[in-house]
Amino acid sequence: MSRRIPRLFAIESSFPEEYSVLRLLEPPGSCRQSLCERVFDGTYDKPFIVDSWPWRYLHLDFESVQSAMHLEDPDKLCLAYTRKMMAFLLFNRTPKRILLLGLGGGSLAKFCYRRLHRATVTVIEINPAIIALREQFRIPPDDERFRVIRGDGSAYVAHLPPRKDVILVDACDRQGVAPELDAIEFYQNTQRCLAPRGMLVINLCGDRKCCASHLRKIRDVYGDAFLALKVKSSRNVIVFAFKARRARIDWDRLNIMAVNLKCRLGLNFPQYVNRMALEWRLRKWQIARSCVRAD
């Protein structure tokens, strides 16, 4: 049975050039003026699309972009934070089971499905309106390797067996990381349902207080077995937390892998390694300095 693709209500021509077409999950004949007012004053309560050729953007409001797609290259990772989240491949080049919390415009989901041919990809999305837009972002239909499930990500991980190789968390609302994920139990459940050498990757977005709250919980659950990668073009921080603690990280080996992965996938993995190494060494230095002061 084929999925019914919702028709979107388009508002054209009344925007500056960069906002040439606005597409909304509204029925034909809706009031353009009322919708425009609600979208621009931030009271519109559904996700919406802005098309500015050759780009398509997913928004919850005009304060930030949730997802971006190049209409002539729909599987390309257009936003910097999504490219950096794929740095988990430095530690596991052939994951078999990937869980993604948060669908958005499907950038990560599509990239994992199209480029990691041995992986099964399960996506959990709580917002039915986001799921209703999946065809607009060329998200593939469900099959034996790919499925999108409507549900609460925090509740979903609470009942999983320990078998996921990678858990990617990109679940954000207008303020930042979805509030239901800001709980120690959520991070305990992610660690429990990872395979023995599995890893959690989370996009921390929002204000500094929100990010700090999540980092404290990650540290409480995963200890010092994590790396961080800042996204220079935004306030996002990507955190990679490992279920198995690592006595040391072989940075030379990671640099070799980074070059190979760049050739294979076209992402700047060598740069990601360098930045993670700087953060790792800085954190180790800070820990050593605090120990000296304590003595």
**Catalytic residue numbers, as ranges:** 170
Q: How far apart are CA 57 and CA 35, in angstroms?
A: 18
Q: What are the structure tokens assigned to 69, written together?
A: 């797609």
- Cα-based angle 195, 108, 274 (whole degrees, multiple of 5): 75
Q: What are the structure tokens assigned to 100, written together?
A: 């993604």
Range 270-274, long-range pairs (CB < 8 A, 24+ positions): 272/84, 272/87, 272/90, 272/229, 273/87, 273/90
Q: How far apart are CA 18 and CA 294, in angstroms?
A: 55
Strand partners, 226: 241
Q: What are the structure tokens assigned to 177, written together?
A: 């990381």
Computed on alpha carbons and rounded to an integer, the radius of gyration of the chain in Å comes to 20
- Which among 148, 220, 215, 154 is positioned nearest to 190, based on CA atoms? 154
Q: How far apart are CA 215 and CA 192, in angstroms?
A: 18
Angle between helices 269-294 and 251-265 (to 10 degrees): 150
Strand partners, 49: 23, 58
